[in-house]
Structure 1
Amino acid sequence: MSAGMERHVLGLSGGKDSAALAVWMSQRHPELDIEYFFTDTGKELPEVYEYLGKLEGLLGKPIVRLNPDRDFDYWLRQYRHFLPSPKTRWCTRQLKIRPFEQWIEPSLAAGAKVTSHVAIRADEEWREGHVSTHPNLTIRLPFREAGIDRAGVTEILENAGVGLPAYYAWRSRSGCTFCFFQQKVEWANLLERHPEAFEEAKSYEKDALEHGSPFTWSQGEALGELARPERVHKIREEHARRVARARQRATLNPLGLKTGAFELDDIDSPSKACLVCHK
């Protein structure tokens, strides 16, 4: 690979923002031979794979699948059976970022310039993209540069005919089935829609607790407790009350979200979710 060669890459998470950016870049910059990629942890929602298939059809080119050289079970052992958590996000580091770095490293080593296009919106001033540690790797934030916000993202996907990923009907973020940033109601939804994935998450948690892990997937509550029917009922009641309060605030604040226009992510959602998974 010659030193003058350039690569443009764009990571897809299975979420709406990165999907919209892929569509937008393909429409606005057809002159760029963008390589779309998805880092597959092997623990993704089935809906994520379905949505990636729709995007491939729209983009007219394959989405490269990057697979970690070591799976979740390997890294769980390396981290002494401690579950990943908001404070210790080893899953993001080892299963998402590391495979990406390994994928582009040969190009950087050969002197090529690599531009990574990241889907941080204009209304996400607090977010930062992957910090480049290599002089030949440039991070671009096209949505922030163009002033595109969340409403703009939705408009791009609707106009393109792909719409939002199906899981947005019950979950606020993409990524692994057992993402620790899920709200409790989302764990309840996972139990209802993908019980086998919930049971797998519960088995990982049980193993971690037996090895002394201080973390559970859902803060302060083991999944076995959360899954009890009476507890699920209470979680859904509490969530319904939060939704009602959010709708009331939206009605009273015309400068804020319009009534009914918000998502699960707007209601008591954990902050600072993993950018590489959520986008």
Structure 2
Amino acid sequence: MPETVRHICGISGGKDSSALAVYMRDRVPDMEYFFCDTGAELPETYEYLDRLEVALGKPIARLNAKKGFDHWFEVFRGALPSPQMRWCTKKMKIEPLEDWIGDSKAVSYVAIRADEASRKGYVSTKPNIQTVMPFVEDGVDHAGVLKILEEAGIGLPKYYEWRTRSGCYFCFYQRKAEWVGLAERHPDLFDRAVAIESKVRQDAGADGDASFGEYAMKGRQYTWSGGESLPDLHARREEIIERHNAAMEQASKRKANKTVWEVLGDALDDDDDSAQCSVCAL
């Protein structure tokens, strides 16, 4: 009797992975959909997943890490996750996913688009997991993704009104203007991020004392956003918004008749960090 092969499609809460889920719905009827839930997602993400489940006609498995952020925050001696040390991705997304798959043979469908074929997404190193990229194979680009979501009647997640990517509310890949947006849209979540950051800075010392645990390496970032504390960032809110609006105006001139999200994605200014997490942002 041949071994059963599982077909799995990860959903980040972003447009590309959501469009892929819809795209594969009728092509692979036994597809299993999953979402790695850190417990620190935006409310808009959870709302969008509920809408997507209706379009798919089946539930999306919510994979939770056995231990949450607070546990791993202590394990890593109070070091904030950062582009150099993305323990949040490893411990709260990749490990729960690989535990869920176990040793079963699986085909993992990844939402890399045809117009970004060189971009890296999560590709497991486990030998029982095969990765495929249907959008690359079938030539589905950015416009194709938007068309899929529009025709499915679910559109874009609401956070695209002010944020360019999915992910945790405290994601260190956020732009300065997006931190300001978090403070305005979800002040309670902004305050939580401030509290986490304040604990790190208090434990490490205001100058980033290298005696702060084995993970307090030289040059270690003690703030969520580019060496600037969130209170300091928010204190110059007007400056950040002014520069962001200027960048948005320039981007809108280059991208006529585009959505707010598309303009946001092109509106980089000197305060912005255009990098993003390959697991969270599809």
1:50-74 CA-to-partner distances (Å, cap 9, x unmatched) read: 0000011111100001000111011
Going from structure 1 to structure 2, the CA distance change for 1:232 and 1:272 (only over 3 Å counts) comes to closer
* Aligned-residue CA RMSD (Å): 1.6
Q: When the two structures are superposed, what TM-score results if normalisation uses the length of structure 2?
A: 0.88
Find the counterpart in structure 1 of residue 240 from structure 2: 235
Deviation at 1:3, TM superposition (A): 6.0
CA distance in 1, matches of 2:163, 2:36: 20
Deviation at 1:258, TM superposition (A): 4.0
Find the counterpart in structure 2 of residue 7 from structure 1: 6
CA distance in 1, matches of 2:202, 2:155: 43
Find the counterpart in structure 1 of residue 224 from structure 2: 217
SS in 1 for 2:32: strand
Find the counterpart in structure 1 of residue 40 from structure 2: 43
Q: Is the 8 A contact 1:116 1:138 kept in 2?
A: yes
State how 1:176-215 maps to structure 2 within 5 Å: 176-212=168-204, 214-215=220-221
- Check if 1:164 corresponds to 2:156: yes
Find the counterpart in structure 2 of residue 139 from structure 1: 131
Letter in 2 for 1:14: G
Find the counterpart in structure 1 of residue 251 from structure 2: 246
CA distance in 2, matches of 1:54, 1:68: 23
Find the counterpart in structure 1 of residue 267 from structure 2: 267
Q: Is the 8 A contact 2:73 2:80 kept in 1?
A: yes
Q: Is the 8 A contact 1:190 1:198 kept in 2?
A: yes
- Check if 1:149 corresponds to 2:152: no
CA distance in 2, matches of 1:148, 1:65: 27
Deviation at 1:113, TM superposition (A): 2.0
Deviation at 1:260, TM superposition (A): 3.5
Unpaired segments ≥5 residues, structure 2: 205-215
Q: Is the 8 A contact 2:16 2:111 kept in 1?
A: yes
1:163-186 CA-to-partner distances (Å, cap 9, x unmatched) read: 000110011111100111111110
Find the counterpart in structure 2 of residue 100 from structure 1: 97
Deviation at 1:259, TM superposition (A): 4.8
Find the counterpart in structure 1 of residue 233 from structure 2: 226
% identity of equivalent residues: 50
- Aligned counterpart for 2:117 among listed residues 94, 115, 125: 125
Letter in 1 for 2:4: M
Aligned residues: 262
Deviation at 1:241, TM superposition (A): 1.1
